[in-house]
Structure 1
């Protein structure tokens, strides 16, 4: 019985992914989405959270690698042209990423906070609070970077691997650390 239940759950997940790719993704030519990438289209009908018509907007030449998760439960996710979302990276909307930006493997970019309340039964999610994350053009977000809700990262920014971005980052700079701190100007920026 347990195997049958798991089989039914797997079929439902595959169905959700097909529906997401056909009806909820607006993408231009040359866009690649790995078959093992997960596109979460949002809560079920009847939920308090409003769905967008096109929760995923992927620009021309954008690439979403295997194991990546893109979630639009509480806000749209927009990738500009020639963006790269690395292996096992996670983006939870609302997030907007500029053209020619790479988000490396195992990174986490989130525009949502869940508001929890503790009860005798445990921790309950009671509401969502969203603040849009904006990442500029020509940026490189290194492996394992965490970007919290409400952050704006300017154009031509490099964020070093393992950094935690908690505040806005101006254009043409390099940041690293936890929390991410200014390292130098990005002199290679055009």
Structure 2
């Protein structure tokens, strides 16, 4: 348990696991309902964040900016996610699952329940359910979503309010949000493997020229193998074999978040 990483842990029985190279800012509080908190490698948890969720898992290289709130029962956040300032992540509906490479702009709200009016006196609006954001979903700033399923690569434009599921690689806008892909196209286009290789080698060259780090520390492979001291990247799988070196950490951070995102294929 690394309680020293947090300004306050209100439940002394909370199980806490924070991986290396993860930064936790000032005034980050774990509330009384927290039972188990797992935060991955290379994350950034900003200042003035309140976490009060029974079970929280955060993958590697995820950023949660200042003033955000995470509360509820079970929240799962994948690798390489980015949450802007003052984001609310709610899982009081039971389970909020956020995939890998998900972006959520500042002042956004992710809800898994809708409760307030008195059921005894006839209020019809009382519901809770799971909230799921699949891989590569992007909610641009000031977005609000209810307990929906946003499918892989879907995107919600600034100020959108999504109360229904979002289709894969489609763009939504408005309140309530509607599919506007016929006007804006899709979030992701197909890129040929050869072009991906060219872009990777260009990124590697730019990074190494700026840092003086040897390019041969980062190699492209079709299959992972045991190579000591070298980080292997597989474009087919969009993954890498982490060795947790200082050079690898710098290169991954250089690519995040808008150049390239990689999922760890094997434990270091």
TM-score > 0.5, shorter chain as reference: yes
Q: CA deviation at 1:18?
A: 4.9
Q: Which residue of 1 aligns with 2:58?
A: 58
Which residue among 31, 34, 43 is the counterpart of 1:31? 43
Q: CA deviation at 1:179?
A: 0.6
Aligned length: 156
Q: CA deviation at 1:30?
A: 1.1
Q: CA deviation at 1:188?
A: 2.6
Q: Which residue of 2 aligns with 1:106?
A: 107
Measure, in 2, the Cα distance between the counterparts of 1:65 and 1:36.
9
| Cα RMSD (Å) | 2.5
Q: Flag structure 1 segments of 5+ consecutive residues without an equivalent.
A: 1-12, 42-51
Give the TM-score, by structure 2 length: 0.53
* More strand per residue: 1
Q: How does 1:78-93 map to 2 (within 5 A)?
A: 78-93=76-91
Give the TM-score, by structure 1 length: 0.73
Which structure is richer in relative contact order (CA contacts within 8 A, separation 6 or more)? Answer: 1
Which residue among 155, 158, 164 is the counterpart of 1:158? 155
For the pair 1:69 / 2:69, whether they are aligned, the reply is yes
Q: CA deviation at 1:114?
A: 2.0
Q: Which residue of 1 aligns with 2:130?
A: 132
Structure whose CA Rg is larger? 2
The runs of at least 4 consecutive aligned structure 1 residues that moved more than 4 Å come to none
